[in-house]
Amino acid sequence: MPRSLMLPLLLLVLAGCQATPPEARAGDADESPARVAEAPAEAAAEAQPPADFTGWLAQFRRQARAEGIGEATLAQALDGLRYRPRVIELDRYQPEFVRPIWEYLDTAVSAQRVNQGRTKLADHRQTAEAVARRFGVPAEILVAIWGIESNYGGNFGSFSTLEALATLAYDGRRRDFARGELLAALRIIEAGDISADAMIGSWAGAMGHTQFIPSSFVAYAVDGDGDGRRDIWGSIPDVLASTANYLAEAGWRRGETWGVEVRLPAGFDYAQAELATRRSADEWAAMGVRGVNGAALPDFAAASVLVPAGANGSAFLVGPNYRAILRYNNATSYALAVGTLAERIAGRDGVVSAWPRGEQPLTRGQVRELQERLNARGFDTGTPDGILGPNTRRGLRAFQRSIGEAADGFATRRLLEALVSP
């Protein structure tokens, strides 16, 4: 299905990493995806649903019927459907603290996850390699996404997808989005891919081993084992083929790597270290960018340099396949985790350079204060929102240049304190 036919969606990032339509991931979100654990209190008694939830559900049922959903599917999916207050609680949760990228990677690319990934790849090598040949996406990339999304199927959520989406469509922050996903979920059941009671996933509606939302499932899920169903809950061939198809549709380039760790030359202009800045590998090499161990750079036609922890951290040269991973989840930390976990699963090195672990990350409130103070000093960051995007980095770089520091745009408490000082 062409990507242009999909709605531009913004999935609730707090749910963890979910596959959204490739063009849904616009912008330059670069914060670590916040992981909200499924509540152990799931077994506890839920509060009574709002009085008008039943009426809303009846109206939705009429609308779904009018859009072609059959009576048997409506009965299977909607009869006895519960409102879930815990879903709304999680939807409205906004974490104040964002983990630094090195802490995120410590967990996402842990030795245990690497070893388990190698075992999973060995267990499913024939299937993974067949999928890789078909779609052009390396087996280790597919297994890495599987590991990060659900810990290789160990935790892909315990919520009824239908109940979660109905609750969000009734009472959530993105009701129209959730309603569309609920309708897509009904179409999946109508097609016979999964039964209503087996459609299990995260509180935000992401499903199965690699966390597809229903609209992505409808567009990109693949029957990998030939049984006539697309089953991302129980069929590993379907899981791997669906994930590969998604990345292929997102622009994955067969035969290219996602990126490499690099060393930057002295005096490098860190204003060039933005995903939107793209040059050929030859152009970057002419500027003095080198592979971290002296290796030649990949033959990228349009590559970007990233320094997710500033001048004192690791640097990467990333190409189109990195951007395809971002379409799966638009967070720098997520895409680097997939890439580096894949490298480790394949037996290659992970990140070699050190991270600035002594730096204290800013809370969202402190980022907002940083933005306000930069604006007050004339270093424009736009409207303060507590999010470290390209506008904030641009303003911060200007301030860093004004005080004679490397203008890497990496926000630290030390820089915030420098802005506070007269």
pLDDT band at 48 (very low <50, low <70, confident <90, very high): low
- How sure is the predictor about 11, in pLDDT bands with cuts at 50, 70 and 90? very low
Predicted confidence at residue 295, as pLDDT, reads: 87
Q: Name the residue among 107, 120, 94, 186 with its Cα closest to residue 148.
A: 107
Q: What is the pLDDT of residue 137?
A: 98
User: Which conformational region is residue 81 in: left (phi greater than 0), alpha (psi within -120 to 50 degrees), or beta?
Assistant: beta
Residue 35: band (very low, low, confident or very high) from pLDDT cuts 50, 70, 90:
very low
Domain ranges of the chain: 259-346, 364-419
Answer yes or no: is pLDDT of 337 > 50.
yes
**pLDDT tens-digit map of 283-298:** 999 999 999 988 899 9
Q: What is the mean pLDDT of residues 196-217?
A: 96
Reported as a single tens digit per residue, the pLDDT across 98-121 is: 889 999 999 999 999 999 999 999
Number of residues in the chain: 422
Angle formed at CA 153 by CA 352 and CA 97, multiple of 5 degrees = 55
CA distance 18 to 293: 34
Query: Has residue 321 got a pLDDT over 80?
Result: yes
- Confidence (pTM): 0.88
Q: Please state which of the ranges 17-31, 125-139, 254-268, 370-384 shows the lowest mean pLDDT.
A: 17-31
CB 370 within 8 A of CB 328: no
Each residue of 37-47: pLDDT tens digit? 333 333 333 44
* pLDDT of res. 360: 83
Lowest mean pLDDT among 7-16, 108-117, 309-318, 386-395: 7-16
Find the radius of gyration of the CA atoms of the chain. 22
The reported pLDDT for the residue numbered 93 is 85
The pLDDT value given to residue 361: 82
β 304-306/315-318 pair status: antiparallel
Average pLDDT, integer, range 319-347: 97
What would the mean pLDDT of 295-310 be, rounded to a whole number? 96
* Averaged pLDDT, 68-85: 96
What's the order of all strands across the beta sheet hosting 304-306?
A: 290-291, 259-263, 315-318, 304-306
CA distances from 198 to 16, 70, 132, 234, 283 (A): 21, 19, 28, 10, 52
Mean pLDDT of the chain: 89
Residue 326, pLDDT above cutoff 90: yes
Q: Which of 406, 359, 347, 337 is nearest to 104 (CA)?
A: 337
Residue of higher predicted confidence among 301 and 50: 301
At residue 363, the pLDDT reads 92
Pick the CATH number of 259-346 from 1.10.3720.10, 3.40.190.170, 1.10.530.10, 2.60.120.10: 1.10.530.10
Say if residues 205 and 165 touch (Cβ distance below 8 Å).
yes
What's the per-residue H, E or C state across the chain?
CCHHHCCCCCCCHHHCCCECCHHHCCCCCCCCCCCCCCCHHHHCCCCCCCCCHHHHHHHHHHHHHHCCCCHHHHHHHHCCCCCCHHHHHHHCCCCCECCCHHHHHHHHCCHHHHHHHHHHHHHCHHHHHHHHHHHCCCHHHHHHHHHHHHCCCCCCCCEEHHHHHHHHHHHCCCHHHHHHHHHHHHHHHHCCCCCHHHCEECCCCCECCCCECHHHHHHHCCCCCCCCCCCCCCCHHHHHHHHHHHHHHCCCCCCCCCEEEEECCCCCCHHHCCCCCCECHHHHHHCCCEECCCCCCCCCCCEEEECCCCCCCCEEEECHHHHHHHHHCCCHHHHHHHHHHHHHHCCCCCCCCCCCCCCCCCEHHHHHHHHHHHHHCCCCCCCCCCCCCHHHHHHHHHHHHHCCCCCCCCCCHHHHHHHHCC
Average pLDDT on 78-89 reads: 95
As a whole number, mean pLDDT of residues 83-100 equals 88
Of the listed ranges 214-228, 244-258, 356-370, the one predicted with least confidence: 356-370
End-to-end CA distance of the chain: give it in Å, rounded: 57
22 band by pLDDT with thresholds 50, 70 and 90: very low
* Percent above pLDDT 90 for the chain: 83
pLDDT score of 3 more than 50? no
Residue 14 has pLDDT above 70, yes or no: no
Over range 240-250, report the average pLDDT. 98
Whole-number pLDDT of residue 98? 80
The pLDDT assigned to 131 comes to 98
